[in-house]
Amino acid sequence: MPKVLMVSTVGVTIESFLVPMARGLQDAGWEVHAACRDAVDSGILQEVFDGVHELYWDRSPADVRGIIASMSILRKLQDEGGFDVVHLHTPVAAFYGRLALQRSRTSGNPRVLYTAHGFHFYEGQGYLPHAAYYAAERMAGRWTDYLITMNEEDYSAASTFGTIPVDRVRMIHGVGIDTRYYSRESMSVEACGTVRERHGIPASAPVILMIAELNKNKRPESVVRAFLPVGRSTGAHLLLAGDGSLGERCQKLAFEAGLAQQVHVLGKIADVRPYICTALAAVLYSIREGLPRSIMECLSMEVPVIASDIRGNADLLTGGSGWLVPPKDETALTQTMLSAIEDPDECRKRGVAGRILMCGQYEVGTVVEQYVRLYREALTV
């Protein structure tokens, strides 16, 4: 039985994105292990994976002690576990993990794969951070057998590194979405009605939903500011599903505008499906994305998305499943929200298009098949 070790910086990444892939690989005959921070405290990882291993690094590249300790553990895991494939995710884990495994790769195993969930450099970024992040990824390409990207912009960029053969750079559509779980059929009418009742939303009021961590990259303040005139003129409600440092600031903006009852900061939601099926449309106004999971969840449940016109978002929405707006134009965001509310038939049409897209190349089963083929290819070269 071939063995794969999935590595990320923190456990929430594997819990949120990689569990369906792990189960699919197990069904295909692979022994699947996970290594990350907080691994041993995760009931989900303990339940799903064949082995769980604790690392000590953090998302900050300045955590030198944690990085050194984790690199040492990865080397030991490989020496003792003999993994055929080590599949790395998230920037810190991917860079230092690949560095740690250089020596092991000289003997043939493991094959080292890195899935970039969105490079830290991107079009429109300032020169110095762009150059620094590009240089780091280019350097790490030397320690990589296969580099997998999720969007066209990252694929094009990775193909220019010159440190990894172009035929070892691949594009796979994310980590997949379970379209049976994220479907309107999976939710009852009563479950969706409960959301309105819980938050005091009238049955006739349109709902706009944002699913994201409330941080600077996701720009929830911009979403709230753009929503304020929409809420005043239409009576719509805005739901912000996610925790983060900007939650209080969003509430303050709504309170100062007299719309505190129409802007709901919900915190992290364990099951977002009832909220998605309550929404007329969703919004994501990020600065940087890879291939946003929240957009995929909404499209799979036939809810169109209004998003900033950046990589990842554009890959998912250019087929008519939503609206792309300039990333620095809150007025355009306001107008697009209004247009969506004024034309619910168009929303339904775009939502159906999104569902069709997700059930095709983004379905988790399809993505897992692509990764299984890639793993087998890697073991033969």
End-to-end CA distance of the chain: 19
Residue 258 confidence (pLDDT) = 97
Instruction: State how far the Cα of 139 lies from the Cα of 244, in Å rounded to an integer.
Output: 32
Q: Scan for tokens 């919900």, then name that residue.
A: 266
pTM, entire model: 0.92
Per-residue pLDDT of the chain (381 residues; tens, 9 = 90+): 899 999 999 999 999 889 988 998 999 999 999 999 999 999 999 999 999 999 999 888 888 999 999 999 999 999 998 899 999 999 999 999 999 998 776 666 799 999 999 999 999 899 999 999 999 999 999 999 999 999 999 999 999 999 999 999 999 999 899 999 999 999 888 888 899 999 999 999 999 999 999 999 999 999 999 999 999 999 999 999 999 999 999 999 999 999 999 999 999 999 999 999 999 999 999 999 999 999 999 999 999 999 999 999 999 998 899 999 999 999 999 999 999 999 999 999 999 999 999 999 899 999 999 999 999 999 987
If one counts every other C-beta atom within 10 angstroms of the C-beta of residue 335, the result is 16
Residue 107 confidence (pLDDT) = 63
Those residues whose C-beta lies under 8 Å from the C-beta of residue 169, and which sit 6 or more positions away, are 146, 147, 149, 155, 158, 159, 161
Look up residue 380 and give its two tokens: 């033969």
What domains, with CATH codes, occur in the chain? 3-176+363-380 (3.40.50.2000), 184-358 (3.40.50.2000)
Closest CA to 294 of 354, 367, 369, 339: 354
